[in-house]
Structure 1
Amino acid sequence: MPSDLPVDHNPRHQLITTEAGNSCLQLTGSYTLVSLNPSLPAVARELAQLASQPGLYWDLTNIHQLDYAGAVMLWQIWGEQRPDHLLLRPEQEQMFQRLEKVVSLPEPTQRKWFLPVSLLGQQLLRFFDHLAGMISLSGQIVLDIVYLMTHPSRIPVREISANLYRTGAQALGITAIVGFLIGIVLSYLSSEQLHMLGADIYIVNILGMSIIRELGPMLAAILVAGRSGSAMTAQLGVMRVTEELDALTVMGIPHSLRLVLSKIIGLSLALPLIVLWTSSVALLGGLLAADLQVGLSIRYAVTTLPDAVPIANLWLGLGKGVVCGMAIALIACHFGLRIKPNTESLGEGTTNSVVTSITAVIIIDAIFAVAFSSIGIRVAG
């Protein structure tokens, strides 16, 4: 109803009695931040006392100006809900409708005395959740392999070739540089100690066994996990963000057959070749350093290398490459498919993928070291 009262910029209120005998609190003046600033505590306290009366009518139609500061004050006095009897103008109605949609802040969490135990339990649940997801994905890959054995024409040859190029050929540069430098460092450290004992010829044994059996596969797998594994996770994550995975599902193209299986096959074929390449370059760097440091002939080193290092160590290193390649691709695809359609999840998933892949590589290397401890090692008896 229109107001016949004079305009007053101060916040005022008066309690009147309607024709029906009901108590009505009529607000007049301006309920804005500027007008409320000098007397906000007093006005809020008086209105809160009056609001405690049961069945009170609130009439806001005579307010000259009302902004969100005044609306929030009234909303808090009402206990964040509308009173049973309220008269508003249309523009005031819109303000309170917005306030009704505002989500209240969560209550501060109480201190948990068993917080370390709770966090440990959450981490264990997350671990078993990821483990179950990878087992499920592995089972789907086995089913896809069986399907491809009965339908050879459906083998994703182009996808496998593309993954071989991206994870193998494009990784030759960085693996060669790192392997060459590691070979030089290892040769300098060992040649100094052996030269003091007059056992320079055993540099070949140390370089051959350490690089071919351990360092070569480990370096190659860790570099590929950080380079190719993160790229696989990011690729699947971007496909999730851009809804390309949903489009493949709509078209009836399975993710595991076209995306996951091709990456696993490609990396399991590429990583053994990278291991062989990295070990060769690392041996070359080590022998060059030994030649410069103690004058060990490279021709002599190459001639005695097959006798110093049994061929079983080479096959063991290549076997590590196959297993690590499959594990890295499986972990990368698992985390990639679990990324949610937002950029924060993309970064978190890629980081978790790299960390988990490197951890898995170290665990696989430890398992190989224990399981094949009696193979390829000559023990003096």
Structure 2
Amino acid sequence: MTDRAKSLPALEPIAQQGRLSGVKLSGEWNLRNLCDAPGLRRQLRNYARNRALHWDLEAIEVLDNAAALLLWEAWGQTLPAGLVLRPEHQRMLERWQEQEIPDTAPPRRHIGVILLFLYHTLVDFCRQTADLIALLGQLLLDVGYLLRHPGSVPWSEISITIYESGVRALGITALVGFLIGIVLSYLSALQLKLFGAEIYIIDILGLSVIRELGPLLAAILVAGRSGSAMTAQIGIMRVTEELDALSAMGISHSLRLVLPKVAALAIVMPLIGVWTSSAALLGGMFSAQNTLDISYMQFFLKLPDTVPLLNVFIGLLKSAVFGFLIALVACHFGFRIKPNTESLGNETTNSVVASITIVIMVDAVFAILFMGIGMPI
């Protein structure tokens, strides 16, 4: 028998007069050997259920803390009556007897925990709302300051934000708008053919795209693309302590970081909304020409008659409000980021979710307020 086989932990039952009277343990009882012998641990638990057995541990060569804890838990956290072992091993087991092993069972869920969670959620919501209102108030103060000091307007920051959030978003917004126009036109054509009302595809596309889908799609795309970038930018400045450096130099965070982003998105979002609506109408025209045989010229000539000009202004107003809110929410969550990477990821995700949610809620408010305005007679 090799030395390796001799050192393996072993468990041997002891029988007297034809019945089991005890258990003898031998070998090296350490964590490494026990991990390689899961069947041995199962036998140990089975024998430990019989409280009348006596245990002989004198033949154990090595006993570490992990094996001692395994024996201690198998015996029900108490030493058996007929236990024979070496003095050094006895001290190791008595150490576990003196220590209290914490209960690792998961805590029970009860109504108090649920109410406490709801309370903390409500408090956090109220605190964030107050911070957002404070940020909006500071923004208004900055606008008043710039009206008195026009030379302090951060034109360069506004310009770069317009380029990053507007010009570089033209490709994705045009693609999504064009595809949405095709899908909307195709699905509407299937229903209009049943009633012989193919010409009304222009009314459906014009009102839905110019008034609702164009500004909403543009706002959702910008919230996911530019809003997250704004939050991450402020968060990186927090991590690299650039915000502390600006404060040390007496430079206002809201004047140099928040105001340019809010102003830029409020300016560029109506333009992106018009761009997205135009791409969606082109996609709808393309689909209508192929499915309903409505020519491009007919579409162009009938569109101004079916969609009053007031709908265009409603869409522009909604886009400007969407841009303002997206930038404000992005900056709010950016300043909430703590100087660690986990907080950076969490708050960026929260920024995108909150921006999209607020955009959809405000769009629903606009739909209710302007329900009877700009509709064709």
Deviation per CA, 1:351-379: give whole Å up to 9, x if none.
11001000000011011011111110124
Question: AA paired with 1:152?
Answer: P
Tell me which residue corresponds to 1:242. Answer: 240
> 1:105 & 1:238 partners in 2: Cα distance?
41
Higher alpha-carbon deviation: 192-201 or 269-278: 192-201
1:222 CA drift (Å): 0.5
CA shift in 2, pair 1:196/1:144, >3 Å: same
Deviation per CA, 1:151-174: give whole Å up to 9, x if none.
111100000000000100000000
CA shift in 2, pair 1:33/1:335, >3 Å: farther
Q: Does 1:370 align with 2:368?
A: yes
Higher alpha-carbon deviation: 194-203 or 156-165: 194-203
Q: How many percent of aligned residue pairs carry the same amino acid?
A: 54
CA shift in 2, pair 1:196/1:160, >3 Å: same
1:299 CA drift (Å): 0.5
CA shift in 2, pair 1:351/1:71, >3 Å: farther
Q: Does 1:144 align with 2:150?
A: no
CA shift in 2, pair 1:329/1:38, >3 Å: closer
1:110 CA drift (Å): 5.9
Aligned with 1:270 (options 268, 271, 279): 268
Q: Does 1:217 align with 2:218?
A: no
Aligned with 1:283 (options 281, 284, 288): 281
Tell me which residue corresponds to 2:156. Answer: 158
> 1:330 & 1:148 partners in 2: Cα distance?
18
Q: Does 1:124 align with 2:122?
A: yes
Higher alpha-carbon deviation: 112-121 or 143-152: 112-121
> 1:38 & 1:136 partners in 2: Cα distance?
60
Aligned with 1:304 (options 278, 302, 305): 302
> 2:307 & 2:155 partners in 1: Cα distance?
37
| TM norm structure 2 | 0.74
Tell me which residue corresponds to 2:43. Answer: none
> 2:99 & 2:294 partners in 1: Cα distance?
91
1:288 CA drift (Å): 1.0
Tell me which residue corresponds to 1:95. Answer: none
1:263 CA drift (Å): 0.3
> 2:200 & 2:109 partners in 1: Cα distance?
62
8 Å CA contact retained: 2:306, 2:376? no
Aligned with 1:205 (options 203, 206, 222): 203
Q: Which runs of 5+ in 2 are unaligned?
A: 1-61, 80-87
> 2:362 & 2:327 partners in 1: Cα distance?
14
Q: SS at the partner of 1:253? A: coil
Question: AA paired with 1:259?
Answer: L
8 Å CA contact retained: 2:309, 2:374? yes
Q: SS at the partner of 1:187? A: helix
1:203 CA drift (Å): 1.0
1:178 CA drift (Å): 0.3
Higher alpha-carbon deviation: 333-342 or 123-132: 123-132
Q: Which runs of 5+ in 1 are unaligned?
A: 1-31, 47-64, 80-103
Tell me which residue corresponds to 2:325. Answer: 327
Question: AA paired with 2:277?
Answer: S
Aligned with 1:347 (options 345, 358, 363): 345
CA shift in 2, pair 1:75/1:181, >3 Å: same
Deviation per CA, 1:198-227: give whole Å up to 9, x if none.
212111111100000010011000111111
8 Å CA contact retained: 2:182, 2:283? yes
> 1:231 & 1:71 partners in 2: Cα distance?
57
1:107 CA drift (Å): 10
CA shift in 2, pair 1:254/1:73, >3 Å: farther
> 2:272 & 2:335 partners in 1: Cα distance?
26
> 1:361 & 1:178 partners in 2: Cα distance?
18
Aligned length: 302
Question: AA paired with 1:368?
Answer: F
> 2:231 & 2:316 partners in 1: Cα distance?
25
8 Å CA contact retained: 2:78, 2:97? no
After TM superposition, list the pairs within 5 Å mapping 1:24-173 onto structure 2: 34=64, 77=98, 109=107, 111-173=109-171
CA shift in 2, pair 1:73/1:107, >3 Å: farther
Q: CA RMSD in A?
A: 2.8
1:264 CA drift (Å): 0.2
Q: SS at the partner of 2:111? A: coil
Higher alpha-carbon deviation: 259-268 or 195-204: 195-204
Q: SS at the partner of 1:300? A: helix
| TM norm structure 1 | 0.73
1:118 CA drift (Å): 2.2
CA shift in 2, pair 1:292/1:147, >3 Å: same
Q: SS at the partner of 2:124? A: helix
> 1:127 & 1:36 partners in 2: Cα distance?
47
Tell me which residue corresponds to 1:93. Answer: none
